[in-house]
Structure 1
Amino acid sequence: MTADSALADRWRGLLSCCSGVAHDLERELHAGHGLTMSEYEALDRLLEFADCQARIQDLVGDMYLSQSALSRTVGRLEKRGLVERSMCATDRRGVFVSATAEGRRVRDQARTTYLDVLARHLGPAEDRALSPGA
């Protein structure tokens, strides 16, 4: 095997791993909590900010979504009452997104599912070998 082939194989392995994790997160978060992976990630990252509030521009810097995709995701969370939007007092173009108490509750419940999926895929090899579906 050449160095180029080994590099391509590593890349394919990473893609396969990411795809498997994303697929299981999407399926299990939706089945158990009615959240997409993107909705969970947005809510989870929002809760890491002070006062559980951030501008969409600040959230998008940490995520894999474009600003427009994140805005749509926040819109879905807002419809469910998990976040609220408010205008920034110092910048009329700025919109703050804040997690509601219900948003915190849903994220806290979904966190166990999220961490279980991550552990199943990314935990120590001996743990993955013992997990169903690994």
Structure 2
Amino acid sequence: MRAWRAYIVGSQMLEYRLHRDLAEEHDLALADYEILVRLSEQPEHRMRMSQLASEVASSKSRVSHQVARLESAGLVRRSECPSDGRGVFAHLTEQGWELLQAAAPTHLDGVRAHLIDLLDDEERAMLTRIFERVTNHLRDANS
């Protein structure tokens, strides 16, 4: 129970802090930052909406709302998939890329200061193994 409670409180506090830093310095939500990051990592900075939802561990509906908001802000645009009329791509715009480049150091500094630098090499390796196992288990359970 102690481990569970420490995880819940610590992860919520960490997420809140990372979100606050991005919001205060770049007017960007942590969840929106994650979408911009995922798009930036793809060829042509685009991804199918369904894949994007899977990558950020969110529902298709929620990601659709986020992308609509990001599209209104000029950070992302949507287009139909030419090979599948039902598919939709999200594309990172130049404005989205520029915001991501400005926000990334803030986010990385926060992750380092509030998590990574608090752990030694063995603890970082253990954390990686634990959450890869949890993620794989939950993805397999949802397949």
Pick the aligned partner of 1:46 from 39, 42, 53: 39
How far 1:12 moved relative to its partner?
1.3
Q: Deviation per CA, 1:77-112, whole angstroms, max 9, x where unpaired?
A: 101111110111111110111101111110011101
Q: TM-score, normalised by structure 2?
A: 0.79
Structure 2: gaps spanning 5 or more residues = 120-143
Q: Within 5 Å, which residues of 2 pair with 1:1-134? A: 8-125=1-118
Higher helix content, 1 or 2 = 2
How far 1:61 moved relative to its partner?
1.1
Name the count of aligned residue pairs: 120
Greater gyration radius: 1
- Taking the aligned partners of 1:73 and 1:97, their CA distance within structure 2 comes to 11
Q: Deviation per CA, 1:59-84, whole angstroms, max 9, x where unpaired?
A: 11111321111111111110111111
- Taking the aligned partners of 2:72 and 2:40, their CA distance within structure 1 comes to 18
DSSP 3-state at the match of 1:54: strand
- Taking the aligned partners of 1:93 and 1:13, their CA distance within structure 2 comes to 43
4+ long deviations beyond 3 Å: none
Contact kept, 8 Å, 1:88 with 1:96, in 2: the verdict is yes
Structure 1: gaps spanning 5 or more residues = 1-7, 127-134
RMSD: 1.5
- Taking the aligned partners of 1:76 and 1:59, their CA distance within structure 2 comes to 15
Q: Which amino acid aligns with 2:24?
A: A
How far 1:39 moved relative to its partner?
0.6
